[in-house]
Structure 1
Amino acid sequence: MTDDDPTFRIPQHPTRRYRRRGGVEYDGGTVFSVRPTRDLDEATLVELVRSILDRQPYRYGDWFDLPMPLYLVHDDVTGDTFRVAIRDGVVELHVLPETEPDGLRAFYHRLAANFEGDWTVTHRNG
Structure 2
Amino acid sequence: MSEPRSQPSFAIPQRPERRYSRTSGLSYEGTTVFVLMPEPTSDAADPDAWLYDLTERVLDTDRYTYGDWFDLPMPVFLVHDRGTSDVFRVAIRDGRIEFHVLPETDSKGLSALYERLCTAAGGTWHVECRTDADR
TMscore range, shorter length: over 0.9
Structure 2 residue 59 is the aligned partner of structure 1 residue 57: no
Q: Which of residues 111, 117, 121 is equivalent to 1:115?
A: 121
Hey, what does 1:69 align to over in structure 2?
Answer: 75
The one of 81, 85, 97 aligned to 2:87: 81
Structure 2 unaligned regions, length at least 5: none
Amino acid at match of 1:102: K
- Cα distance in structure 1, aligned partners of 2:117 and 2:31: 22
Q: Which of the pair has the greater relative contact order for Cα pairs under 8 Å at 6+ separation?
A: 1
Q: Which has the larger displacement, 59-68 or 89-98?
A: 59-68
Partner of 1:114, secondary structure, is: helix
Q: What corresponds to 1:33 in structure 2?
A: 35
- The amino acid that maps onto 2:72 is L
TM-score of the pair, normalised by structure 2: 0.88
Inter-partner Cα distance in structure 2 for 1:3 and 1:19 = 44
Is 2:11 the partner of 1:9? yes
| Letter aligned with residue 29 of structure 2 | D
Quote the Cα distance in structure 1 between the aligned partners of 2:71 and 2:84. 29
Normalising by structure 1, report the TM-score: 0.94
Identity across matched positions, percent: 51
Structure 2: which amino acid aligns with 1:124? R
d(CA) in 1 for partners of 2:91, 2:25: 20
Deviates more, 1:93-102 or 1:110-119: 110-119
Cα pair distance change 1:97/1:2, threshold 3 Å: farther
1:98 maps to a residue whose letter is E
Instruction: Point out the structure with max Rg over C-alpha.
Output: 2
Counterpart secondary structure, 2:34: strand
